A and B are shown apart, each in its own frame.
Chain A
Amino acid sequence: MPPLVELKNVYKIYKMGDTSVHALDGISLTIEKGEFVAIVGQSGSGKSTCMNIIGCLDVATKGVYKLNGRAITNYTQDELAEVRNKMLGFIFQQYNLIPKLTVIENVQLPLLYAGMRESEQRRRALASLERVGLRSKAGNYPSQLSGGQQQRVSIARALAGDPSVILADEPTGALDSRTGREVMMFLQQLNREGNTIILITHDNSIAAKAKRIVRITDGRIVYDGPVEGDVTVMKMHGAGEEAPEDEKAKGAT
């Protein structure tokens, strides 16, 4: 069986006038089904670009990206949309719920675009909300929910389509530390249930909740291995402080 996510020597190069910026500078990465991987890096490190490529929101300039054994190259926007719809679930920092839709309508969106029947959409969306414990809020609008609840709705939305990979982009970034911890515990539980989760974060203490860490600096992978082996995480464990080299990277954005 092919690996779920496979990046081989992937480059993402942005042309800015005469100079070209290598957002990703030859990344190779393999993620198997059932893994819980944290892609860690400061802003400007290339982790977001990496997520965009894994999430089929963007395509690599060079190199091969295979999702479930299918090479995602020369895909049109619509074909990428289809892949996102069928195989990927997104959890964003800002929840990205549509404010004028109710909770259940938000959760139904990926199912709607999958062309599912309305009754089936509802059934699945309710089941998904049940999993995050928000079935009772189905008829509410996002603005009536707390930040933690909104993030759980967005998790329910990510789960609704039964995706192969869940991509969580700074899922705790907008939450206080307590609700942030709850969300992380929920992601860990989802992983225990067999879901493949890729977490993108700059926060080492959040990354420590994953099983495997991929650290990116300047578009290159500088560490790829279990949480226990990552020096920075071990050193900073739970502190959430910034490493000096990360300050430099921040200035670069």
Chain B
Amino acid sequence: MMLWRCFKMAVQSVMSNKLRSMLTMLGIIIGITAVIALVSLMSGLTTEVTSAFEEVGIESIMINIQDRASTIELPVEDVEKLAEENPDVIAGQSPTVAMPAFIKDGTDNVSSSATGVNEQYFDLVDYEIAYGRGITYIDVERRQKVCVVGTYIAQEIFGGDALGKTLQITGTPYEVVGILEERDDSTKGSNDDCVYLPYTVAAHTTRSDKITSYVVYAASQETVDRAKSLVENMCGKAIGDDDYYTITAMKSIADTLMDILDRMEAMLIAIAAISLVVAGIGIMNIMLVSVTERTREIGIRKSLGAKQRNILAQFVMEAGMLSCIGGIIGIIIGSLLAVGAGKLLNMSVLPTPTAIIVSFTVSAAIGVFFGFMPAKKAAALNPIDALRYD
């Protein structure tokens, strides 16, 4: 009952001086707007980055061998054996042989790279075959001159109907046995600009027959760390000196990036929080002025029997209300800003419920915290002096 009256009094007081209330709220509005907009943008960015990593394959682990001396080798059998012996941890593996390739349409250079992979590759990286088939075990074993192409190659060279046609790669003819599903927009340099061959063919073409890079896929995100240590073990045994190879797990890159994003978010929030503290001081300042202005009113209320806690509650409520209204306005503006910025950046940005709840709570807390001192001052006023005050 008392609280409800207090609430009504606070509303009256806030409404009776709209301009001042608005100006007092401004600090909170700006602070909360900044917090909401930043947090939303950062979480939008995080989602974006996460999905980018998921596309590449967050479970993937790359092995690269720096083969300057041409004596170091990681045999294909070792990697195959590792995958077969640990089916719970490793989903599969494939050599990835980057082959310099001149793929021409007449005299125009269309593309300049081809990758040698095994029969597991398309399943691991989750590429769909739109037409034909993928690379098979037979292709690998028999070093068949076949290839699977992306939609860019298919359209650019064969006008779309590439299946069964012959593609010249650095002067050697390959039969196109499969066309991948379109993943981007079928332009040069996109994910659709690709040619895959059996790795045995690619390795043979580079004239060393040695495989210098592999990709290993963990069974799930949770097994990435275990898979990585298995791979490290294997490389340690097969190669020894770890100067000659690098093992890169996408997940640890993703984790590092997420960590950086988290830190950035924390820093931005900290900066916005400074503005909230300044806003709180603004509220305290205005409340002190308000207490002085209303000394006589306080005196009247006290002479009529208001206890210290009644006066305290009245002023704390008023400060709390100012900051809560400011907080709500800030949340609305911040959300609109975040959505607008998301549209501009072509990202899906939405304020999270947590951000909204936390910033509302924080703004209420600021009001109560910074309103307390002036309210305490009001409550402690001597009724006689307060009544005499003009």
* A161→B302 CA distance, assembly (Å): 15
Query: Does B175 reach chain A (CB closer than 8 Å)?
Result: no
Query: Which of B67-75, B303-311, B364-372 touches A?
Result: B303-311
User: Contact at B308–A77, with CB atoms within 8 Å?
Assistant: yes
Q: Give the contact stretch, choosing among B159-167, B293-301, B316-324, B349-357.
A: B293-301
Q: A57-B384, A96-B387, A100-B12 are in contact. Are A90 and B2 (CB under 8 A)?
A: no
Contact between chains at B1 and A113 (CB < 8 Å): no
**Chain A 86-108 near chain B by CB (<8 Å), digits 1 or 0:** 10001010001110110000000
Are A82 and B304 in contact, with the CB atoms below 8 A? no
Q: How far is the CB of B346 from chain A (nearest CB, A)?
A: 51
Q: Which residues of A contact B13 (CB under 8 A)?
A: 100
CA distance A98 to B386 in the complex (A): 13
Q: Is the interface of B mostly helix, strand, loop or mixed?
A: helix
A114 near B384: Cβ-Cβ < 8 Å: no
* In the complex, chain A residues whose CB is within 8 Å of the CB of B310: 113
List, in ascending order, chain B residues with CB within 8 A of A81's CB: 302, 305-308
Residues 206-246 of chain A: 1 if any B CB is under 8 Å from the residue's CB, otherwise 0?
Answer: 00000000000000000000000000000000000000000
Q: Which residues of the partner chain A approach B384 to less than 8 Å between Cβ atoms?
A: 52, 57-58
- A84, A92, A113, A115 pick with most chain B CB within 10 angstroms: A113
Is A176 at the interface (CB under 8 A from chain B)? Answer: no
Number of interface residues of B (CB under 8 A): 23
Task: Give the docked Cα–Cα distance between A84 and B303 (Å).
Answer: 7
Listed residue (A96, A110, A117, A161) with the most chain B CB atoms within 10 angstroms of its CB: A96
| Assembly CA distance A101 to B5 (angstroms) | 12
**Known A57-B384, A96-B387, A100-B16: A84·B2 in contact at CB below 8 Å:** no
In the assembled complex, the Cα of A161 lies from the Cα of B304 at a distance in Å of 9
- Are B308 and A85 closer than 8 Å at their CB atoms? no
Nearest CB in chain B to that of A83: its residue: B305
Q: A52-B384, A57-B384 are in contact. Are A98 and B300 (CB under 8 A)?
A: yes
Q: Contact at A84–B304, with CB atoms within 8 Å?
A: yes
Closest 4 CB pairs of A and B: A85-B305, A113-B305, A110-B304, A78-B307
28 A-B contact pairs sorted by A residue (CB < 8 Å) = A52-B384, A57-B383, A78-B308, A78-B309, A81-B307, A82-B305, A84-B303, A84-B305, A85-B304, A96-B303, A96-B387, A97-B300, A98-B300, A98-B301, A100-B16, A101-B12, A109-B301, A109-B304, A109-B306, A110-B304, A110-B305, A112-B5, A113-B305, A113-B307, A113-B310, A114-B305, A118-B1, A161-B305
